[in-house]
Amino acid sequence: MSVIEKLASSLDRRDEEPNIELAVQVADQLDEDAVKELIENLSNKNKSIQNDCIKVLYEIGDRKPSLLTDYPNEFFSLLNSKNNRLQWGAMTAINSMTNDVPEIIFSKIEKIIDAGNKGSVITKDQVINILIKLCSIKTYYKEAFKLLIDQLVKSPTNQLPMYAERSMAIINEENKQLFIETLTSRLDDIEKETKRKRVEKVIKKIG
């Protein structure tokens, strides 16, 4: 069976299990030919095949990101896609590659931020993940942290507690003051008490 024949839509399945099984198989076998075929079919005329391919690819990225690192431009090009699934799926794949090829990801950081600003909640979540990873790399720390703060200033209040909690991993003596000030400035925006308490807990823990 070809890779495409193993996709959920090709098997007339409405669940994601075949796609996940395929991703596990490709990652375990380090099957570069399969990855190439999946990449090529991101532009398939059949939208279901496109959606299945991006699902398999970001699941591969979660398990074996090195298999995706030959194709960053293919994922970057999808950040402008009108197909929302391709857009946030591509951002998820880009996130998975960040630690392997940070220089490539950082070189497109403006495009990534722009796509996050215009994109879905999942797209925004992945942008935060990318920025946090870049913050942990000395070469990109300063610029990435500045961009992360910008995101925290304007992020939806529903997502802010999660972003604050995830960001704690890269907070240190040098940057904690600005981080605390940024979160504190957002507290009055948060209507839900449970979410406000989560942000307050982060502030207290860091402080």
pLDDT single digits (tens) 18-75: 999 999 999 999 999 999 999 999 999 999 999 999 999 999 999 999 999 999 999 9
Three-state SS at 119: coil
Rounded CA gap, 198 and 191, in Å? 12
Rounded CA gap, 30 and 111, in Å? 30
Specify the pLDDT at position 189.
Answer: 94
Q: Which of 141, 207, 198 is nearest to 178 (CA)?
A: 207
Alpha carbons within 13 angstroms on the beta-carbon side of residue 38 total 32
Averaged pLDDT of the chain: 97
Specify the pLDDT at position 206.
Answer: 95
Specify the pLDDT at position 27.
Answer: 98
pTM recorded for the entire structure:
0.95
Three-state SS at 135: helix
Rounded CA gap, 108 and 116, in Å? 12
Share of the chain above pLDDT 90, in %: 99
Q: Where are the alpha helices (DSSP H) in the chain?
A: 17-29, 32-40, 47-63, 72-77, 84-97, 102-107, 109-118, 121-135, 141-154, 160-167, 176-186, 193-206
- Compute CA 96 distance to the chain's CA centroid, rounded to the nearest angstrom: 7
Specify the pLDDT at position 94.
Answer: 98
User: Model confidence at 1, in pLDDT bands (50, 70, 90)?
Assistant: confident
Segment 155-163 mean pLDDT: 96
